[in-house]
Copies of this chain bind each other. A is one copy, B any other.
Amino acid sequence: MARRVSRRGGNIVTIHDVARHVGVSPMTVSRVINGEKNVREETRAKVLASVEALNYSPNLAARSLATQDSARIGLLYSNPSVAFLSEFLLGILSESSQSGAQLLIESCEGPEGATAALEKMKANGCDGVILSPPLSDSSRVAKILRDMNLPFVGVAMARPDPLVCCVTIDDFKAAFSMTKRLIELGHQRIGFIKGHPNAYASQTRFEGFESAMKKANLAVDPAMVAQGYFTYRSGFDAAERMLSLKDRPTALFCSNDDMAAGAVATAHRLGLEVPDHVTIVGFDDTAMASSVWPELTTVRQPIADMAALSVRLMNDQIRAKRLGRPFEPVREIRDFALIERQSSAPVQSSG
C-alpha cells in the first residue's frame, strides 16, 4: 500500500523530534517549553538540553491554532523620548515574535487622544494593551481601559498602583543612588532639573534626590531646583539659569537624558567644560546619552528587557481572561544600573 506523500517540509525540527530524542512524550516537551510547573526538574533539564541540541524552535502557527489564542497586543505610546521608543520596540518585538503575538501600534497625543486610539484598537480585535510612559502613569487612560474591559500592562510606571499590572524600576532608589554617587564625588551644590509635572516619575525621582541630600545633611536650595519638561530645550533653559548663578552648582542632575544633553549644550555655550567645570548627569540611558559628547553618566533602565517582560505579562493576562481564570496584577521591579561615562567627575577645587 503506497503511503500517501507526506506534506512535511523535511528538515523542520518539531516537538516530536525532541520528544523522541529525549525519550518522553511530546506533551512533556510541550510542558517544558511552556514553563509549566508539574515537570520533574531532571526531565525538564533533559528536554531543554535536547531543545538546544536540535535547535528546536516552536511553530507559532501551530501553537496559536491549538491554543486558539492569536493574541493581538496593542501598543500605545505618546511622544516619548523617541530613543526610548526604539529600545522599547526592540524589546516588544523580540518577545512578541517569539510568542507569536500580533501587534497593533498606535500613538496618541497625551491621555486626551487615548480614547480614539484605544477604540480603534478594540475594533481591530485587540486583546490587551501595553502602555509606555507617560501614558502608563495616567489614571485617565487606566480608567478608559477598565471601562472597555481590556487588560493592560504599564511599563516604567513610577506610581505604584496595586490594581495595575506593570514593569518598572524603582525610580526613587535610582535617583537616590545617583545623588549619593554625586555626593561621593565631592559635590555639594547639586542642581536638580525636574521632569514633566504630569509624569509621576518626575516627582518620584525628585523625592529620591531630596532624600539622598537630606541623608548627607545637604540643603536643597530652591534656586537649585528647576522645573523641566523632559525636552532638550527645557534642560537647556533650566541649566542656563542655574549655571549663570554666582554660586553655581558643581553638578546638575537632570531627570532624563534629553534634558541633560541640553544642559551640556548650555554649559559649553557658557564656556564651561563638562565634566571639568560642571558634572552633568541624566536618567534613562537612551541613545541620546551615548550620542552626545561628552557621553552622559546616567541611570540605565533595562527598557528592552522591561518591554519584553510586559509582553509576557500581557500574554499571561490575556490567556487567564480567556480561560476565565483570575489574574492578579503583578508588579515586576527590575534593577537599574548607574552608568558612569564622561560627563561626571569628582568636584574640582576651583570653580
Contacts and interface: CB of A to CB of B under 8 A. Distances in A.
Interface in A287-301: 287-288, 291-293
A57 B265 contact: no
A125 interface: yes
> Which of A7, A9, A59, A291 has most B Cβ within 10 Å?
A291
Nearest to A9: B68
A102 interface: yes
A102 B57 CA distance: 12
Contact of A83 (B82, B264, B271): B82
Interface stretch (A39-47, A93-101, A109-117): A93-101
A62 to B, nearest CB: 5
A232 B268 CA distance: 15
A332 to B, nearest CB: 23
A258 B288 CA distance: 10
Contact of A86 (B60, B82, B264): B82
A93 B103 contact: yes
A48 to B, nearest CB: 17
A226 interface: no
B12 A293 contact: no
Interface string A1-13: 0000001110010
Contacts of A65: 59, 61-62, 65
Given A60-B70, A100-B102, A288-B288, 13 more contacts: A60-B102, A61-B62, A82-B83, A89-B90, A89-B93, A93-B93, A94-B105, A232-B293, A233-B293, A261-B291, A265-B268, A265-B293, A268-B268
21 contacts: A12-B125, A57-B125, A61-B64, A65-B65, A82-B87, A83-B83, A85-B86, A89-B89, A89-B90, A90-B105, A93-B103, A94-B105, A97-B102, A100-B102, A258-B291, A262-B293, A264-B265, A265-B293, A268-B269, A269-B269, A288-B291
Interface of A: 7-9, 12, 55, 57, 59-62, 64-65, 68, 70, 81-83, 85-87, 89-90, 93-94, 97, 100, 102-105, 123-125, 231-233, 236, 258, 261-262, 264-265, 268-269, 271, 287-288, 291-293
